[in-house]
């Protein structure tokens, strides 16, 4: 009886992968290496703009994005009061781009007390706190962590066409994000 002994090729255990590829780089973490971008919110749809801003704040537009480091750039937004919601266009004395959604969309808060439900339409909010709408939209798209909250510090909103970050010389907002 011959038993053929097949030689099983021994699998050499490879050394664990060199995980430098996702380690943080010092240059990246340094705030001086962050870029500034400016974007005009005039007539832009809130959510569409917010996703692009959130991408840049997180740094996901860069090939060296690192999730445990704030690798994002600064974003300056002007004309936040001239933001648009989708829907049928209607006329309004003060609000530009007044649509059906601006009139109907409801922002709710609940204080925790009985009958503590506060309701505000998008139109009310736009009139009262114009930058709140975009700020909230972006905030909720960022990671719900300390890092995420710090990322929001890099977002600067201005109602009206002017901003006071000329010193930082913000570049044009990248179109590919």
Instruction: Tell me if 152 sits within 8 A of 57, measured CB to CB.
Output: yes
Size of the site for another protein (CB under 8 A): 14
What is the phi/psi pair of residue 21, to 5°?
Answer: -60, -25
60 binds another protein (CB under 8 A): yes
Dihedral over Cα of 97, 103, 106, 107: its sign: positive
Residue found under tokens 């049928």: 88
Q: Which listed range, 29-37, 60-68, 72-80, 121-129, lies at the site for another protein (CB under 8 A)?
A: 60-68
Contacts of residue 170, Cβ cutoff 8 Å, sequence gap at least 6: 36, 37, 38, 74, 76, 163
Nearer to another protein, 28 or 136 (CB): 28
Nearer to another protein, 2 or 18 (CB): 18
21 binds another protein (CB under 8 A): yes
Nearer to another protein, 64 or 152 (CB): 64
Residue ranges that bind another protein, judged by CB under 8 A: 17, 19, 21-22, 60-65, 67, 174, 176-177
């Amino acid at each position: 009886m011959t038993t053929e002994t097949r030689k099983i090729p021994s699998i050499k255990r490879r050394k664990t992968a060199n995980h430098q590829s996702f380690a943080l780089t010092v240059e990246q973490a340094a705030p001086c290496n962050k870029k500034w971008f400016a974007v005009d919110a005039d007539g832009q749809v809130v959510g569409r703009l917010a996703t692009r801003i959130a991408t840049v704040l997180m740094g996901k537009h860069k090939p060296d994005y690192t999730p445990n480091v704030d690798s994002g750039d600064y974003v300056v937004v002007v004309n936040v009061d001239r933001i648009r919601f989708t829907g049928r266009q209607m006329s309004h004395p003060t609000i530009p781009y007044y649509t059906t959604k601006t009139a109907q969309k409801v922002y709710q808060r609940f204080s925790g007390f009985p009958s503590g439900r506060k309701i505000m339409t998008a139109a009310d909010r736009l009139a009262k706190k114009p930058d709140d709408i975009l700020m909230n939209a972006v905030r909720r798209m960022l990671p719900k962590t300390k890092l995420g909250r710090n990322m929001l510090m890099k977002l600067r909103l201005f109602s009206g066409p002017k901003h006071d970050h000329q010193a930082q010389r913000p570049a044009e907002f990248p179109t590919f994000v």
